[in-house]
């Protein structure tokens, strides 16, 4: 006889308030094996329950209790609460963007001159805020994807060696593909954790992602590639714009600098 599982008619005892919880009751037929009955209830009961069907209160499966009630018959009770069980995780993200100070524009759209000073506007090759002393630049919003993950891990996983790994990986950029991002795009901002009453750990991991780019151009300098967390800066020199009869700042060299060490963030084990 195949094992059959039914949720009972009088199931779903729900309590609300400060500590919401729910119980669900199941009948299992067709086995004298408690473990097999428990697996059947585990397979038919949800891991998480949306109490109000609107995503505001979620309760998680905490335990399954089995009681024999007859030959090849079992009564199973599944208990839910807001405490997230070990090996569960949550995720959040923010695409608000970061800021960067840039000295070069993507292109110069228009120029306007005072005819009493210049008949032709000097060509600064896209330098922003060029003065006699240098290039002032501007602060802009750049793509920056920040995300965090909270994991509930058994105490056997969070060893002193693992805590040291968290420490040494903080401030590192991924040297290999990580969570769908290419090498060079993810910066590990660090982790914070606490031991919960049940003996497992709640650890939150924070990351920021910036895209790798290729084919960049700085004025006449082309073919620049930069990984997401490398730093690009430009050296300017004075040059004469013969048409405008003016001394201008022009990009002479572009440098891509590595400012964050690389490491394999997959060593986080999440």
Please check whether residue 226 is in contact with residue 173, taking contact to mean a CB–CB distance below 8 angstroms. Answer: no
Higher pLDDT, 176 or 119: 176
Residue extents of the structural domains in the chain = 4-81, 85-270
Higher pLDDT, 235 or 134: 235
How confident is the model at residue 89, as a pLDDT?
85
Is 1 a residue whose pLDDT tops 70? no
Beta bridge partners of 247: 240
Residue 242: pLDDT band (50, 70, 90) is: confident
N- to C-terminal Cα separation, the chain = 41
Cα distances (Å, whole numbers) of residue 189 to 4, 94, 173: 49, 14, 9
Please check whether residue 59 is in contact with residue 52, taking contact to mean a CB–CB distance below 8 angstroms. Answer: no
C-beta neighbour count of 159 within 10 angstroms: 10
Q: Is 17 exposed, middle or buried (0-12, 13-18, 19+ CB in 10 A)?
A: exposed
Q: In this predicted model, what pLDDT tens digit does every residue of 126-179 receive, in sequence order?
A: 888 888 788 888 888 787 899 999 999 999 999 999 999 999 999 999 999 999
For residue 31, which of 83, 69, 77 has the smallest C-alpha distance? 69
Higher pLDDT, 133 or 207: 207
What average pLDDT does the structure give for the chain? 91
Q: Is 204 exposed, middle or buried (0-12, 13-18, 19+ CB in 10 A)?
A: middle
- Kindly report whether the global pTM for this prediction surpasses the value 0.85: no
Lowest mean pLDDT among 58-67, 97-106, 179-188, 233-242: 97-106
Residue 107: pLDDT band (50, 70, 90) is: confident
């Amino acid at each position: 006889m195949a094992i059959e599982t039914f949720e009972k008619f009088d199931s779903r005892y729900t309590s609300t308030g400060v500590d919401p919880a729910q119980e669900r009751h199941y009948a299992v037929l067709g086995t004298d094996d408690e473990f097999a009955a428990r697996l059947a209830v585990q397979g038919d009961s949800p891991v998480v329950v949306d109490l109000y069907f609107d995503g505001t209160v979620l309760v998680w499966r905490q335990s399954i209790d089995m009681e024999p009630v007859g030959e090849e018959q079992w009564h199973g009770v599944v208990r839910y609460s807001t405490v997230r069980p070990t090996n569960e995780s949550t995720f959040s993200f923010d695409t608000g963007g970061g800021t960067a100070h840039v000295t070069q524009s993507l292109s110069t759209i228009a120029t306007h001159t005072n005819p009493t000073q210049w008949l032709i506007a000097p060509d600064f090759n896209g330098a922003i805020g060029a003065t006699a002393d240098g290039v002032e630049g501007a602060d802009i919003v750049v793509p920056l994807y920040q995300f965090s993950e909270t994991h509930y891990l058994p105490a056997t996983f969070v060893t002193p060696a693992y805590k040291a790994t968290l420490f040494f990986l903080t401030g590192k950029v991924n040297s290999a593909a990580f969570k769908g991002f290419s090498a060079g795009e993810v910066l590990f901002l660090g982790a914070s954790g606490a031991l919960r009453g049940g003996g497992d750990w709640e650890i939150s991991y924070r990351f920021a992602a910036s895209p790798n780019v290729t084919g960049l151009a700085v004025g006449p300098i082309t073919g620049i590639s930069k990984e997401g967390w490398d730093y690009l800066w430009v050296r300017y020199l004075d040059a004469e714009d013969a048409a405008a009869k003016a001394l201008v700042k022009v990009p002479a060299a572009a440098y891509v600098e590595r400012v964050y060490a690389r490491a394999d963030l997959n060593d986080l084990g999440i």
